[in-house]
Chain A
Amino acid sequence: MIQFLFKGILRDKSRSLLPVIIISIGVFLTIFMSGWMKGIFTDMIDLNAKFTTGHVKVMTQAYAENEKQLPNDLALMDANKWLSILQKENPEMEWVQRIHFGGLLDVPDSNGETRAQGPAIGKAIDLLSPNSHEANRMNITKSLVKGSLPSKNGQALISNEFAERFGVNVGDDITLFGSTMHGSMTFQTFKVSGTLNFGMSALDRGAIIIDISDAQQALDMLDVTSEILGYFNGDYNDNQAELIKTNFNNKYTKADDEYSPQMYKLTDQGGLKEMLMQAENMTSIMVFIFIVAMSIVLWNTGLLGGLRRYSEYGVRLALGEEKSHIYKTIIYEAIIIGSIGSIVGTIFGLSACFYLQENGIDFSDLMKNVDMMMPPVYRAIVTPDLFYIGFIPGLFAMTLGNALAGYSIYKRKTATLFKELEV
């Protein structure tokens, strides 16, 4: 019987083509939008993790409260001790120190007088240790426009946009005007080893990247760090991060000491948890809307198809087919058509997601004035759930639509139906 139905579906295009197209489009959009939104959020989170939050981050409680102000006067003392503790207790993670600071970059002329000045965001990371992954993690190597990474103390990287604006070349000196962690002014001259294009407006307008040891010296922060970031070897694992955070905080965080360290996981920071929840909610709402919309359209398609096939149903009743069996075959047909549509939609949806995962769409021109740390290229991501996130709703919508359309046949008296079927 299934073979018989299948032949009918293949031959009767008006029975199958429109529903297949509707389901394919619905499933395609569900998968594509879901994959793309996930990709954007994943990239955003990944970017934030690499630049700002880590997978987990240790700060003093006081620093954490005022983190946006980069309050290095509240930074974590005994940084090397805490680094050792963290590496010992969680050897599966990579732990790194970071110092964030702000200041003015002064560009001197040949006489050493100020030629130009501009504000800059400063980041100090481990650039000089041979085993450090920080340069790769922050995509510095690939972002180099001119020059090279610092190879010794006293060298700095600056943003290419800043360098071009003020005519700074590789090998030139620049002076950082800032304040130490104790509040006094500091002036430190660095040699520009290279210029960077981060692809993020916030950093491209003015940024300086120096080695952590240079920052500790310049900012009077010996054995002090703004924060210690922890990274898993692979992808972020929220459950494991929660476990590590809980263990650390239970052991070392003291409620009565605001300078004691406290660990935060990625989703605790910068509203990322809320953002992730919002992304999931938006995906759920989108899938729900598609199911409802597709069901209504398919219900109507089923009704129209049913009307067109009234004569066929009447004949089948007369030939001895039960109403319930006719209803069942309507559902079977819906499952077959729904499966075909869902498979087609899934293939196209996954293909589109894969293409955008590899290529992405560059929105950097539109984001020149955006201060948020957002990826300039929006990419989709192909995840295992995309294989069913559209397929199941597509199949469900088609089956529901036809079940509703066929219900009238199931509920009517045979004699009434036979008369209405105009046999």
Chain B
Amino acid sequence: MNIIQLNNLVKKYPVGNGEFTALNDINLNFKEGEFTGLVGPSGSGKTTLLNIIGSLDSPSYGSAIVMNKSIAELSHKEAAMLRNQHIGFIFQTYNLLPVYTVFENVEFPLLLQNKNATQRKNAVMEALEWVGLTDKIKSKPSMLSGGECQRVAIARAMVKKPQIVLADEPTANLDSKNSHHILQTMQKLNKELGVTFLFSTHDEKVMQYLNRLISLEDGKVISDTIKNA
């Protein structure tokens, strides 16, 4: 079953008097439980594509259907709801809230869902267990290593048990050992929970974990390779 469908997707941005085409006629489908990477050089449109799938942006033309919802037709509230309920984000620079503890950072998406304290505590502890950080719940991000920060970010993305996780260059700031650790964690979650992971990356280490590799260049798909599991 396709969880994401992109049909003739075009995204243009106004630049000066003209327009810059960030995505040009993208046609892609993603099935539930995929572990897919978007690869390509800077400016190839990877992040723009993730933003559209994540309902942070909308297509100029064509359609993006995520969880059976057309992104272009969503109101601000519906888009926020989609992100809140079904999509998790992981960023290159972790983007943890610096004044809050590990527990509170992971708890935040659940506060937005108005979950009660017990539900929040159980879910947060479960998510931190997935990433192996239950001993750091009271630590602030400044007290953690880069790898630990990214694991907290993964827990934050996973705590609401989303159907889709969008990870924008998640290993770009990590050393080799931490990169592998992070990728193994995400791979485990993908297999155990059936969550669809979609990466943007140009990290060779990431590519070896992916089941599907989509290459973008100048906003176009130039290859779409499915590897055997």
Contact = CB atoms under 8 A, between A and B. Distances in A.
Given A8-B100, A11-B99, A321 B84 contact: yes
Interface stretch (B72-80, B173-181, B194-202, B204-212): B72-80
A1 B110 CA distance: 10
A312 B97 contact: yes
B81 interface: yes
B36 to A, nearest CB: 19
B95 A320 contact: no
B109 A423 contact: no
A318 B57 contact: no
A315 B156 CA distance: 11
B112 interface: yes
Nearest to B109: A319
B71 to A, nearest CB: 11
Interface in B47-73: 51, 54, 56-58
A324 B108 CA distance: 17
Nearest to B156: A319
B91 interface: yes
A415 interface: yes
Given A317-B56, A414-B79, A415-B57, A12 B95 contact: no
A317 B97 CA distance: 13
Interface residues of A, number: 24
Given A7-B100, A315-B95, A318-B56, A415 B51 contact: yes
A4 B111 contact: yes
Given A11-B99, A312-B97, A315-B97, A321 B112 contact: yes
A1 B117 CA distance: 11
A317 B108 CA distance: 12
Interface in A121-176: none
A314 interface: yes
Contacts of A318: 54, 56, 83, 89, 91
B95 A322 contact: no
Contact of B99 (A8, A316, A320): A8
Contacts of A311: 95
B112 A320 contact: yes
Contact of A319 (B57, B76, B100, B112): B112
A323 interface: yes
Max chain B Cβ within 10 angstroms of own Cβ: one of A312, A319, A323, A418: A319
B104 interface: yes
Given A4-B104, A415-B56, A415-B57, A322 B76 contact: yes
Nearest to A10: B99
Given A319-B108, A323-B80, A325-B80, 18 more contacts: A1-B111, A4-B100, A4-B108, A11-B99, A312-B97, A315-B89, A317-B80, A317-B83, A318-B54, A318-B83, A320-B80, A321-B84, A322-B80, A414-B76, A414-B79, A415-B51, A418-B57, A423-B91
15 contacts: A7-B99, A8-B100, A11-B100, A312-B95, A315-B95, A316-B108, A318-B56, A318-B89, A319-B112, A321-B80, A321-B84, A322-B77, A322-B80, A323-B76, A415-B57
